Structure 1
Amino acid sequence: MSGNRAVAYLKPGAVEVRTVDHPTLELQDGPGVSPEAVGRKCRHGVILKVLATNICGSDQHMVRGRTTAPEGLVLGHEITGEVVERGPDVEFVDVGDIVSVPFNIACGRCRNCKEGKTGICLNVNASRPGAAYGYVDMGGWVGGQAEYAMVPYADFNLLRFPDRDEAREKLLDLTMLSDIFPTGFHGVVSAGAGVGSTVYVAGAGPVGLAAAASAQLLGAAVVIVGDLNAERLAQARSFGCETVDVSQGGVEDQIAQILGEPEVDAAVDAVGFEARAHGRDAPEAPATVLNSLMGLTRAGGALGIPGLYVTDDPGGVDEDARSGTLKVRLGLGWAKSHRFTTGQCPVMKYHRSLMMAILHGRVHIAKAVNATVIGLEDAPRGYAEFDQGASRKYVLDPHGALNGVRPV
């Protein structure tokens, strides 16, 4: 096979579907691929027929021109697929298996991987710890918003679904296991959410909604979601969350109206570096969410920070923001003995347990994030609508595998 239809970053505000090379078990030169990686052989890898691949808010940062992503970079790090070819060193994954792909690529051999820190693998990116598919500065691995994709270190990375027929029936929910469900879950776990806790999630995009659903799964007494977008707040209320409209300012006051006190036990930043100040028509202020969460989290509480922060932001509001240097009230967090957890979610720490929760009907994640299926060729429209604030999690369907599939 020679052709492979894929979604590529074109320029700020634009993506296009183009034909790229069919993946092989060797890294080829191309947009975003570091010279050190070219020619890297992946006898330990597999080729997947992509059954579902999702548009992520992290992709949107690149498409907005808020990173140094090169033209032609094939996007997509949320991948679910069927194995159609396996490398000679793969032992435990077979052709025909339907699998979820963690967005963070890990070798399984380095110190960090052996300690379960698969988001910062030391061997899959020549530039820095950690790698991901189709993402700027993350190792040059080709993205999965495509008909076919290559996955390295398959025996270690892939989560195989136990029943092919059931996997296809529940594919719309299972596709969330590659990133946003574990990421949202990691956010609330690292914030200390549990039975009877009160939880505030900043941001009602897909990751924030996944975090809210995760807090409910963990037994939180009250889950509050804050956002500027009325449609996204309505989506949070659709599965039992309380909401705060941050365009009205005064987050603590609104939380006090709900809880009777202005603080919560656990807080999650699902916004990241493109945060805006609170209030109507507020300007961008990238430290807003972090500072707000320190103010409204009780002393001794914790902040989970799955929202993306970057070291290079060409569109930053000032020189500090352009280098990822934010004016954070660390003194406040120190005075309240807060704990902070940042960085990529180590997907493999959670994805099997969350798969079981889906398969046994304990959580309805596709409904929570309003999963919306579109064709691969419709990806430019999906990116545009998502950028305009649509309260949907767009799922691309390159081969029609999602025809007739509904959330469980």
Structure 2
Amino acid sequence: MAGNRAVTYVGSGRVEVHDIDYPGLELRDGPGVNPANVGRKTPHGVILKNVATNICGSDQHMVRGRTTAPEGLVLGHEITGEVVETGPDVEFIKVGDLCSVPFNISCGRCRNCKTGKTGICLNVNPDRPGSAYGYVDMGGWVGGQAEYVMVPYADWNLLKFPDKDQAMEKILDLAMLSDIFPTGYHGCVSAKVTTGSTVYIAGAGPVGLAAATSAFLLGAAAVIVGDLNADRLAKARSFGCETVDVSQGEPQDQIEQILGIPEVDCAVDAVGFEARGHGPDGAAVEKPASVLNSLMEITTAGGSLGIPGLYVTGDPGAQEEAAKVGSLSLRLGLGWAKSHAFFTGQCPVMQYNHQLMMAILHDRVQIAKNVDATPIPLEDAPKGYADFDHGAAKKFVLDPHGLIKAAHPDLAVGA
């Protein structure tokens, strides 16, 4: 039997690559596994040999010690891989298929899944609706920043690429389908971005850049991205975005310089609960409600706010007591007075991933270029996490078996 190596959270600010068990078609006990899920049989599952598995900003929240994630948790929910074993109940997915894995784990059987709400499946997490691989309080499904991973309900969850050779040619783009591209797209769809829209996107990390890419795909007339990080703002400008440096002050004045008015039709929060204040002094201070409050100020009356940025119910590292349990000082009265619509929660990846795959395969979008997808060996994951945490304007893609490097020998590999 093959071995398995995986990226493991070992304490605040630290990850290491450890030997772990090769996956089987059963959920075993381990760090973060819900006791009610221990021993859960998955004859409907498959084992994947991971081709690409990405580092996500949501992983960074755990690694920074900003959640209740236990030490020893295997990380990773952005997975693309080749099927090497199928369970006895798998009917349509075959060994050798190259597939994208939605980060939400869903059963395909519950009332939410049947209506497309796969981010809040009722059957995969005993604690609450919704689940994901390698994430705190999500049921304990083992993470995918590894050489091999088990995917349950495979016929339902996996998105098979129609041509393996074509897929490997575009593997860095297709690797974004497991999370950030659908998540950014969902933020824009939720915000009702459409032809001719003016949209402000808070955050120029990978999800924010994916949202900006999605806004153009949806026909936006002006896409404005705000951030504190000069390198990330430069990356947004590289594919046609206007930018706002929020370290210089609140966004309204800079938006007015761009549009002639200090407001936009709609807005997307791609920052989440580790938001910082605006202005020269505020940028160094954590203010978890600052982005949401600013979006209410700059979004026109009757507009919508898409909020794919992560907010949590438990944040032991919060600077405010209320924020430790997910309570924020929102100006809800402002949003009510302006008749804003708010859309929150996990992106239901399966609502979008097939369409976005087709956009990639038919050269309608270059998401890997826009987020600077950068492959690195699995063993370099700790450096990738550190560089990302220090603001690198890159999306690090782990290459556990060297298959990306083999398919793209001209591509620079390394953090």
Question: 1:363, 1:355 → 2: CA distance?
Answer: 10
Question: 1:340, 1:273 → 2: CA distance?
Answer: 16
1:61 is paired with a residue of what secondary structure? helix
Residue type of the alignment partner of 2:133: Y
TM-score w.r.t. structure 2 length? 0.97
After TM superposition, list the pairs within 5 Å mapping 1:239-388 onto structure 2: 239-282=239-282, 283-388=285-390
Question: 1:179, 1:266 → 2: CA distance?
Answer: 22
**Native 8 Å contact 1:228 1:247 kept in 2:** yes
**Native 8 Å contact 1:227 1:233 kept in 2:** yes
Question: 1:94, 1:227 → 2: CA distance?
Answer: 44
Q: Find the counterpart in structure 1 of residue 118 from structure 2.
A: 118
CA displacement 1:56-102 (0-9 Å, x = unmatched): 00000000000000011000000000000000000010000000000
CA displacement 1:265-286 (0-9 Å, x = unmatched): 1100000000001012420000
Q: Find the counterpart in structure 1 of residue 133 from structure 2.
A: 133
Question: 1:312, 1:88 → 2: CA distance?
Answer: 39
Question: 1:83, 1:197 → 2: CA distance?
Answer: 41
Q: Find the counterpart in structure 2 of residue 56 from structure 1.
A: 56
Q: Find the counterpart in structure 2 of residue 163 from structure 1.
A: 163
Question: 1:167, 1:89 → 2: CA distance?
Answer: 26
2:47 is paired with a residue of what secondary structure? strand
Residue type of the alignment partner of 2:251: V
Q: Find the counterpart in structure 1 of residue 216 from structure 2.
A: 216
In angstroms, what is the RMSD of aligned CA positions?
0.9
After TM superposition, list the pairs within 5 Å mapping 1:30-109 onto structure 2: 30-109=30-109
1:300 is paired with a residue of what secondary structure? coil
CA displacement 1:164-203 (0-9 Å, x = unmatched): 1101111010000000000000000100101100010000
Residues paired across the two proteins, number: 407
1:284 is paired with a residue of what secondary structure? coil
Residue type of the alignment partner of 2:389: D
1:69 is paired with a residue of what secondary structure? coil
Residue type of the alignment partner of 1:44: H
Q: Find the counterpart in structure 2 of residue 174 from structure 1.
A: 174
Deviation at 1:318, TM superposition (A): 1.3
CA displacement 1:367-399 (0-9 Å, x = unmatched): 000111100000000000000000000000001
Question: 2:316, 2:390 → 1: CA distance?
Answer: 21
CA displacement 1:121-179 (0-9 Å, x = unmatched): 00000110000000000010000000000000000000000001101111010000000
Which consecutive residues of structure 2, in runs of 5 or more, have no partner in the other structure?
none
Question: 1:172, 1:388 → 2: CA distance?
Answer: 23
After TM superposition, list the pairs within 5 Å mapping 1:136-155 onto structure 2: 136-155=136-155
Question: 2:197, 2:401 → 1: CA distance?
Answer: 42
CA displacement 1:227-266 (0-9 Å, x = unmatched): 0000000000000000000000121000000000001011
Question: 2:87, 2:301 → 1: CA distance?
Answer: 52
Question: 1:2, 1:312 → 2: CA distance?
Answer: 37
Which consecutive residues of structure 1, in runs of 5 or more, have no partner in the other structure?
none
Deviation at 1:2, TM superposition (A): 5.1
**Native 8 Å contact 1:54 1:395 kept in 2:** yes
1:299 is paired with a residue of what secondary structure? coil
2:131 is paired with a residue of what secondary structure? coil
Deviation at 1:226, TM superposition (A): 0.1
**Native 8 Å contact 1:75 1:133 kept in 2:** yes
1:276 is paired with a residue of what secondary structure? coil
Residue type of the alignment partner of 2:268: V
TM-score w.r.t. structure 1 length? 0.99
**Native 8 Å contact 1:2 1:21 kept in 2:** no
2:301 is paired with a residue of what secondary structure? strand
Question: 2:157, 2:21 → 1: CA distance?
Answer: 23
**Native 8 Å contact 1:174 1:358 kept in 2:** yes
Residue type of the alignment partner of 2:115: E
**Native 8 Å contact 1:177 1:355 kept in 2:** yes
Deviation at 1:310, TM superposition (A): 0.2
Residue type of the alignment partner of 1:172: L
Q: Among all aligned residue pairs of Structure 1 and Structure 2, give the percentage whose two residues are the same amino acid.
A: 75
Residue type of the alignment partner of 2:395: K
